[in-house]
Amino acid sequence: MNGYELFEAFDRGGVGILRDFYELSPYDVATEGHRLSTVQKYARLARVYFGSCDSQRVQQETVALAEERRLSIEFLEMVNKHAKKLKARGAAWKLRAELIAYEGSYEEVDEHGKKRVTEEGGDKAKQSGVRVGRAIDGMRTISITDTQRRITDLEKTLDAAIKGDDQPRSEALLEPFWGLVEGNGTELIKPEYRTVIALGLDQSAEVFSGTGSESVIGLSDGTTMTGAEIVNAAMEGALGGKLYVGLFHPTAGPVNLYEARFASDKLRTLAMAENLVCPWPDCNVPADRCQVHHIEAHKNGCHTKPSNLTMLCKYHNGVNDDGPRGKRGPRKPKRGKPSRGRMRRHRGKVRLHTPGGKLLDNTHDLSSMGAMDLI
């Protein structure tokens, strides 16, 4: 049995593994060289699926179905993460049964779980505030929770004060932060929204006529605004002196045919309107902080035009496979350097083409608010 087959056997045996953990003491298992905290986590999960509960029949039927479907411990843990947020009698096991029976990938079930918990009123809204951690090795951590607009305006102020990009972003933001706190000449920026706001034609008519105040619009700085907030920003002059309109085709993508080695501001704005966050799956870097990327590499003779451009964060722009494409897709990577895949425009939208041939979208909330999703 090779390594992948061992992984597959473990991954498909979640119920059987938890059944055994329910019968064992975590301390006995840990003495075999396993990390105690990991063993305790499995033991707690085992008590959920095999211990006493308020819906014993539903529990038994659900566990039997999970075993039949050969679900992993990770999957069962994700299901429990959502279900335990529901406190009404029987509600948690009802949701576990629903999610274990739900047809879809891990990510699809996870998203459905979040939706169902919200519908059932199980999620608590985040509370604004400042939290200060305890001292560890001479260091302390401070975290701030507030509205996305206030935090993003603060972030833009700190970004504007960064000098150079030769250090990690978290380190580069530190001195500008203390300069702002200590009043060393740094003032909070009230930004004009050169940030791209993606509006569909119907949405724009509603927003600027005053009838779309509750519409939620995606921005390329990683946040959203309501229609009312956009109108207020326009009235205050925060949208700048000009409004730009991008033309997008349902399958070709952004429509414009200028050619140049480097993307102009106009082309960059179109690319940002299409992808408000980096389109690489699981990335959450907003387009404001991304780089313009040629989907088909310029070095391979391809042009700088809207349909061949997208926004990628610095990291994913670096790992994207820019090699020439063969007849059946990207060329094989150099020996010892595994391919991470490459961005590709498919049916109008920019998607990741994995080395195995799959086409994947980013599932970030703002990924479904860009220009191509509005037509």
SS3 readout for 37-75:
HHHHHHHHHHHHHHCCCCCHHHHHHHHHHHHHCCCCHHH
Ramachandran region, residue 364 (left: φ > 0; alpha: ψ -120 to 50; beta: rest): beta
Would you state the pLDDT for residue 188?
64
What is the SS3 assignment for 345?
Answer: strand
Tell me the helices (H) and strands (E) count for the chain, helix number first: 15, 13
What is the SS3 assignment for 225?
Answer: strand
Would you state the pLDDT for residue 214?
67
Would you state the pLDDT for residue 195?
61
The rounded average pLDDT for each run of 10 residues, N- to C-terminus, in the chain (375 residues) is 83 90 83 83 93 93 95 95 93 96 93 92 83 90 90 84 81 87 69 63 64 71 77 65 61 55 70 91 90 83 79 91 60 59 90 90 87 76
Q: Is 218 exposed, middle or buried (0-12, 13-18, 19+ CB in 10 A)?
A: buried
Backbone angles phi, psi at 337, to 5 degrees: -125, 90
What is the SS3 assignment for 344?
Answer: strand
d(CA 271, CA 253): 9
- Beta-carbon contacts of 221 under 8 Å, excluding residues fewer than 6 positions away, are 152, 156, 195, 286, 287, 288
Helix axis angle for 227-235 and 201-209, nearest 10°, is 60
Backbone angles phi, psi at 127, to 5 degrees: -100, 135
* Residues paired with 325 in a beta bridge: 330
Would you state the pLDDT for residue 256?
47
